[in-house]
Structure 1
C-alpha cells in the first residue's frame, strides 16, 4: 500500500521536475553546450507522453499490481533524471557566478567555464531517454491511455451548487449527543459511580467512538457552549495522544488556566503546589482529548493533582478505546455513533453546494451525491472531505467518476477511501504541500505562518502573478482547509485566536503519501 500511495505523490513531484527541466537556466546551459537539439526535443516529447499517462496510471494502480510496478520503475528513472537536472542547474549557477556575466554572454560562460564533459552529459540524457522510452512502451500492454486533461467539453454546463446554505454550525446529527453531555456538565448531582478524590467529587465523562466519527468536534461543541462557559471558573483543553506524560499534561493545564506561556517550573512537586493554588476552591472543566494510554497508574497520578478543585468539577475524556473510557470514567461511557443518512447529506451539501443554480440541474447532482455520501458510512470526516473535493467539480461525469472509483474497494490499509479520493484529486502543487505536512507529529498545532515559510524554503510554492510567495502560501493553506485536510477551529473564550491542526487519520494519509 505504501508503494501505491507514494506513486500518487510522485505525480506531484513529476510536475515540478517537468517545469524545472524546461526552465530558463537549464535550457540555456544545455543549448550552450551545443548538445544534439533533436535529442532535446525528443526528451521533451517523452516527458509530455509520461505526463499524459500519469493520471490514468494512478487510478488503475489500485486494482492492478502491474501498473503499480510500472509507476515504481518510472519513479526510479525520474529520480535519476531529477538528479541530473539539479546537477545542471547547480553548474549553470556556478558558471554565472564565476563568469560574472549575464545577458548575451551567458552562452560563452557556459561553453568555456563549465566542468561538465559534453559527451558524458549527452550520454546521460540519452540513457534516461531510452529508459523512459522503454517504460512508456509498456502502456498498451497495461491498458494505459493519455489523460483527457481538464474537463472542458463535458455534457453538463451547470455548476453543482445548491440553494444557499444558512450560516449555521458545521455539525449535524449531534444535537442529542450535545444535550446529554451538557446535562452531565451542568449537573451537580452525585455520579452513579463513587469516585471520591480527597473530599470532592470530580466527574469524568468519557466519549468513545471510532476515528473520524467526531469525538473531538463534540467535545469542542460542549466546551464552548454558553451555559457551560458560565458554569465553570476555569477551563483547559489538552490533547493527550500516544504519550501520557503526567508532568507535561499538568504543565499544559497549569499554563492554560493561569494564561502563562512556557512557565519555567521544572520540578513536579513545585508544579503540583502551583496547580493547587490555581484550582483550589474553583470549579474547573478539563478536556483530555484523544487518550490512547491504558496505564491506570499514570491516570491516577494525574487525577490526584486535581483534588483541590471545587465539588462539581468535570473532566471530559475522548478516546477510541472502550477500555480507556471504562478505566477513566466515573459517568457511563457516551458512545458516539455514525450520523444518519439525512444528516450526512446535509453535512455534505453544506460543503459541496454553495451557490444558487436552477433546480433541474440540482436534481441530477443530488442523486449521485446521495449515493456518494452513503459510501462514507456516516463518518463526518469522510463526508466533509468529499464535500470539499466535489465543491470544485462542475460536471456530472466528474461526480460519477468519484462514485464509481475503485478506491472505494481499498482494503490494504487503514486510510479512509474518501480521504484517499480527496487527496488523489488535489492539484499537484497541493499534493506536495500536503505531503510535506507529515513532518508534524499527530495532535500538534500547526502554525500557519511557520508552515508557509517552510513551504517557501522547500520551494513548494508556484509563483503567481501579482501575488507574493507568502500570499500564494496562504492561498494553498486555505485550499487545504476547504478540503478538510487542515482543520480550523476557534476557542470561543479567545475568539481572535485561530487554531489549526490535522486529524489523526489525515496525518496518517500525509505520512503515507510522503513515503520515505
Structure 2
C-alpha cells in the first residue's frame, strides 16, 4: 500500500505555497529583496499543485511516483521552515529598528545566509518540478463539494447485530449454570464493530440490574489501572441498585456483576493470568461475575477465555448498504435510482466492516454519480496492504485511505498532525484547535473564524470515523467545559 505520507504531499505543498503567497504580499518581508525568487517559486508551486491529484492517484501502484511525492514533501517542509525563519528574523529586525539599535552592517550576514537558502530551495523545487514531466501527470478537476467542510454527520443507527446480541446473552446464560466466573472474549478484525457490539450488550435490558464497569484497556496494559477503574465504578453503582431489586430475582442484583474490557492487546501469558485472577477475586464474596473482553487477536481470546470465545461476524452487504444510505441521505436524493447499483457495488467492498461503511458513506455524501463511480473503480481496492497476500484488513484500510485522499489539503494536515498521539489518546477539542491554528493549518476566512473552521474540521473527522467521542466525562480547562475525543489511527501517517 502506498505510504500515506505520499498523500500528505498535497497538504504540505499547499501550506508552503500559502507561505510564499503571504511573503509576496508582505512589504516588510520584501525588504529582503527576494521578490523575483518568490514569484518564480510561487509559479512553480502552482504548476505542481495542478497535477497533485493525478500524482497521488498513481502513487498507489507506482513506486517511482511515491518517491517523487516523498521528495516533494521534504522540499515543501523545507520551504515552510525557511519562511518561518525569514519571518522571525524580519520581525526581530523591525523591532530593533524601531528602537534605533540596529547597526546596518549587522544585517548583511543574515541576508547573505537567507539568500543562499532561498537559492537552494528554488533549485531543489525546480528539479522536482522538472522531474514531474517524466510521469506525464494531468490536471484533474477537484470533485469535492465545498459544503462537506461544514456538514454535520448523523451517525448511522446500529445495524444487523440484534440476533448476535441474543446469541451472546444465551452463551453467557448457559455458562452461568456451571460457573460463577465467566470470561467471554469477542474478537474480530479492527473496525468490524467489536466495541459497538460490547456497548449494545452492556446496555441491554438483560443486564439492567447488574452492577457494571466498563474499562478501555488499550495497547498499554496496566493491571493496577484496570483494577482501580473497576473498583471505583462498582462502588459507585452499589447504592444505585438497592432500591431497584426485582422481587423474583434468583440472585440479588448487587450480587451480579458485568465487566467489559474493551480493546485488549496484551498477549503475555503471565499478565493475562494475573488479569484473570484479579477479575475472579471480584466475585470472591459470592458474586456472579460476567466479563466480556474485546480483542482483535484470536490467540489472546483463547488465552483469556473461560468459555468459548465469540468471533463477531461481518455485516451483510445489505447491512453495509443500509449504513451508507443512511449517512448519504439516500432516500431524499433525486438521483437515488441512478446511484443504487453503484452503491451496492461499493457496499460489497466494505467486506462487512461497519467502520468502512461509515467512512465511505461520509465520503459519498455530496458526490454525484460520476463521483460514486470513481470510488467504485478506484485502483486502491486492487492493492493489497499486507504484501503479496490478501488480508481482511485490505478493504478496511483501502476505504479509509479513500476517505483520507478525498479530504481537502488543510484537513489532511490537521489529521496527519494527530499521528503524534497514540491510538485511543484523549484530546480536548479546544486544545487541538489551538494547536492547529498555532501551526497555521487552519486560517480564518471572510465568513468563518479560525475557531469555527477548527470546529468544522473536528466534525468532519468525527463523521469519517477518524475521531470518536471519548466515553470519559467532560473536563474543564480554564473554566471551559470540554468533551474529550479519542483518536482512531487506522493508518500510519508518515512524512
Residue 288 of structure 2 aligns to a residue in which SS?
A: coil
Q: 1:203 to 1:40 in 2, by over 3 A?
A: closer
- 1:464 is aligned to 445
Asked if the contact 2:428/2:482 (under 8 Å) is kept, the reply is: no
Q: Does 1:344 align with 2:320?
A: yes
Distance apart, 1:457 and its partner CA: 3.9
- 1:4 is aligned to 3
- 1:174 is aligned to 161
Residue 332 of structure 2 aligns to a residue in which SS?
A: coil
Asked if the contact 1:26/1:88 (under 8 Å) is kept, the reply is: no
Q: How many angstroms apart in 1 are the aligned matches of 2:442 and 2:85?
A: 21
Per-residue deviation, residues 118-141 of structure 1 (Å, max 9, x unmatched): 455444434332332222223332
Q: 1:149 to 1:116 in 2, by over 3 A?
A: farther
The number of residue pairs the alignment matches comes to 456
Distance apart, 1:68 and its partner CA: 1.2
Distance apart, 1:143 and its partner CA: 2.2
Match of 1:377 among 347, 351, 356: 351
Q: Does 1:224 align with 2:203?
A: yes
Asked if the contact 1:290/1:319 (under 8 Å) is kept, the reply is: yes
Per-residue deviation, residues 281-325 of structure 1 (Å, max 9, x unmatched): 632211011222232422333223312355433111112222332
- 1:286 is aligned to 259
Match of 1:255 among 225, 232, 236: 232
Q: Does 1:68 align with 2:66?
A: yes
Segments of structure 2 that go 5 or more residues without pairing to the other structure are 238-251, 387-392, 474-480
TM-align CA RMSD: 3.3
Q: Does 1:15 align with 2:14?
A: yes
Q: How many angstroms apart in 2 are the aligned matches of 1:151 and 1:258?
A: 51
Q: 1:280 to 1:302 in 2, by over 3 A?
A: farther
Residue 236 of structure 1 aligns to a residue in which SS?
A: strand
Q: How many angstroms apart in 2 are the aligned matches of 1:123 and 1:245?
A: 52
- TM score, norm. by length of structure 2: 0.82
Distance apart, 1:251 and its partner CA: 0.9
Q: 1:398 to 1:331 in 2, by over 3 A?
A: same
Asked if the contact 2:29/2:87 (under 8 Å) is kept, the reply is: no
Q: How many angstroms apart in 1 are the aligned matches of 2:218 and 2:408?
A: 31
Match of 1:419 among 376, 383, 400: 400
- 2:362 is aligned to 388
Asked if the contact 1:326/1:333 (under 8 Å) is kept, the reply is: yes
Q: 1:298 to 1:442 in 2, by over 3 A?
A: farther
Q: 1:149 to 1:75 in 2, by over 3 A?
A: same
Q: 1:42 to 1:150 in 2, by over 3 A?
A: farther
Match of 2:218 among 235, 238, 241: 241
Q: Does 1:502 align with 2:479?
A: no
- 2:477 is aligned to none
Match of 2:338 among 357, 364, 380: 364
Per-residue deviation, residues 210-252 of structure 1 (Å, max 9, x unmatched): 2211111100111122442x221x2111122334322111012
* Equivalent residues in 2 for 1:443-462, closer than 5 Å: 443-462=424-443
- 1:442 is aligned to 423
Distance apart, 1:184 and its partner CA: 4.9
